[in-house]
Amino acid sequence: MTRIDAKFADLRARGKKAFVSYVMAGDPDFDTSLEIVRGLPGAGVDIIELGLPFTDPMADGPTIQLAGQRALEGGMTLRRTLELATAFRREDNTTPIVLMGYYNPIYSMGVEKFLIAAKEAGIDGLIVVDLPPEEDTELCLPAQAAGLNFIRLATPTTDDARLPRVVQNTSGFVYYVSITGITGSAEADAGDVAPEVTRIREASGLPVIVGFGVNTPEKSRAIAEVADGVVVGSAIVSRIANGDSVQDVLSFVKSLSDGAHSA
């Protein structure tokens, strides 16, 4: 059982929904990013999605693209991202970390070398948005064999014919992208999300977490009411981009987590 599996078992036992926060590793700089990440569990975050900076983040909108650029300009790399996770693990050995990004940096390091390093750093799961199920032998299956959850995205365009293939080797949870488009481009609607969550949960047997288009405590609660949890990314990254203090960022995260946990 991974930390992700254990977290969902604990949440189910307590009748709670999951709150997942996304932040870009190294944004605005390594030390500030680490301080924010260390503060996330205390702000009510159940699972941390740690963005891996990449030069061509095709699924991300301007907010997260710019965060990645800031991180890269500050010298952030895949190795440095794993160093940040390692530093976090020195103080927190229970909060799950999902590394979210693109395949190129992992391929460049080498899959076997990456998986060893990721396990040593305390990474629990991977979301690699540009590896479709047809490429499962490339990273998904080796990751699962190494004890990491491989989390797949489902979208409003994932129809009943495609869904079984998408969830076939998925573990941990399924990330449902609530809108058609890039991050930060529209708002999620609970009425549209609810039947999709049910469909995906029935097909996968896994918790379904909804992300994209959640940016307020009220929206966080509304989406959590119809899903197993909610992810917020761009709204948090925007606060970091605006130069908010670490405490102000974490206070905002707490308001979002309170929304999800009140569902």
Query: Sheet holding 97-101: strands in order across?
Result: 149-150, 125-128, 97-101, 47-51, 18-24, 229-232, 208-211, 174-177, 153-154
Per the residue annotation, which of 46, 60, 83, 228 is the catalytic one? 60
- Continuous segment of H or E residues that includes residue 33: helix 30-39
Per the residue annotation, which of 5, 46, 49, 136 is the catalytic one? 49
Catalytic residue list contains 92: no
Instruction: Quote the number of domains for the chain.
Output: 1
Each residue's pLDDT tens digit, 70-122: 999 999 999 999 999 999 999 999 999 999 999 999 999 999 999 999 999 99
Catalytic residue list contains 49: yes
Q: Is 182 helix (H, G, I), strand (E, B) or coil?
A: coil
The CATH code of the domain that includes 210 is 3.20.20.70
User: What stretches of the chain adopt beta strand conformation (E)?
Assistant: 18-24, 47-51, 97-101, 125-128, 149-150, 153-154, 174-177, 208-211, 229-232
138, 131 Cβ separation under 8 angstroms: yes
Each residue's pLDDT tens digit, 212-253: 889 999 999 999 999 999 999 999 999 999 999 999 999 999
At residue 184, does pLDDT exceed 90?
no
Domain residue limits at 125: 3-261
